[in-house]
A and B are shown apart, each in its own frame.
Chain A
């Protein structure tokens, strides 16, 4: 999964615009899952039990794995606490000027940052399929 293309905002701006209509699968899953009106078990409405593929988008926020990962992250963190502007910061500042994004300027963290956990369960299921073009209902 890659970062959704920046489609708007000021050049070099700090805000990335991802648009609508499901440009990025991780965004789609997060946006629509478990949302919307529930009309299950309505009187006189014949709801069909359809087989839904399991969509596992929930991640555990606090776990031992997470804790250990933070410790690994601090291993990579080469600056000392008292010195806020260490080498990594300077490197990031420099690259930030051309990449306008921390994701690229970071220490190889870009892939991790894009909610890999959210889409892991989905990316192996035909995510390369051509996306339907965005459609709109006509003006009323």
Chain B
């Protein structure tokens, strides 16, 4: 695999996955986006390299397999070397354009990579158990309980107004519980993480959604603490941990805005 293998022609471009130190070498079986999947190559400049693969420009990108390939490559890389994920869908004309990019921001990228050395991201996600959280809210809020009595078992057409009012009340109560749960999570895990980044809720029953940057040698402690956190709330929140991941939520500080 060498830089000469990738060419920018009229019909193809280079899909950029991420930026890595120049001594990173993709394995021969590394596959990228596209159908059939493109071979992953590197374009080097100075201390930096970009993970790229050739894509046909007429072929739309963004199928499930493309997203999965993108994440698998970046997460796999993050397990062995620091990597700066480049936003999905970034395609340039060819190796020269990649080198221009690396040259223009060489020092910034290199500094960012240093920061991510031996660090990985974990995303912690939790969902409220709907029945459980509803029970809690009704027990704590007389007005919500009264409204629940009014709508329960009666047709929606007759009780639409009360239902909307009830739902809004529940929605706000869930939001308050979400804020509290996120704060508790961040507080509990801050001693075990380098950084944290709150993530937007992706579901109305989301309880927590936070990305943490964790030192490689602190992963066990981090996970153990999180297990305790989950155990204490096991009836109320279904907790999940994703990772180790590439630092998707921690590169925003290095975004290049003109």
Contact = CB atoms under 8 A, between A and B. Distances in A.
Interface of A: 4, 9-10, 13-22, 25, 27-48, 50-55, 57, 59, 61-62, 64, 66-71, 73-77, 79, 81-82, 84, 86, 88-89, 92, 101-103, 106-107, 109, 113, 115, 117-118, 122, 125-127, 129, 131-140
Of B129, B131, B170, B234, which is in contact with the most chain A CB atoms at under 10 Å from its CB?
B131
**Size bracket of the B interface:** 35 or more
Of A54, A59, A61, A68, which is in contact with the most chain B CB atoms at under 10 Å from its CB?
A61
Contacts of A50: 13, 15, 55, 57, 60-61, 89, 91
Contacts of B244: 20
B230 A13 contact: yes
- From DSSP, what is the main secondary structure of chain A's interface residues? loop
A81 B149 CA distance: 10
Contact of B23 (A44, A92, A118, A140): A140
A86 to B, nearest CB: 8
B65 A35 contact: no
Contacts of B63: 53, 125-126, 129
A132 B37 CA distance: 9
A18 B116 CA distance: 22
Contacts of A77: 131, 134-135, 138, 148
Interface string B46-75: 000001000101001111110111111111
B239 A15 contact: yes
B45 interface: no
21 contacts: A14-B234, A16-B241, A18-B242, A22-B75, A31-B71, A32-B74, A36-B84, A36-B87, A39-B90, A46-B92, A46-B93, A67-B164, A67-B167, A70-B170, A76-B131, A81-B135, A109-B130, A135-B30, A135-B76, A137-B76, A137-B77
Of B24, B223, B235, B257, which is in contact with the most chain A CB atoms at under 10 Å from its CB?
B235
Nearest to A118: B202
A36 B101 CA distance: 15
Given A20-B244, A39-B86, 15 more contacts: A20-B242, A22-B67, A32-B71, A36-B85, A36-B87, A39-B256, A46-B94, A50-B55, A67-B163, A73-B131, A77-B134, A117-B203, A132-B68, A134-B72, A137-B51
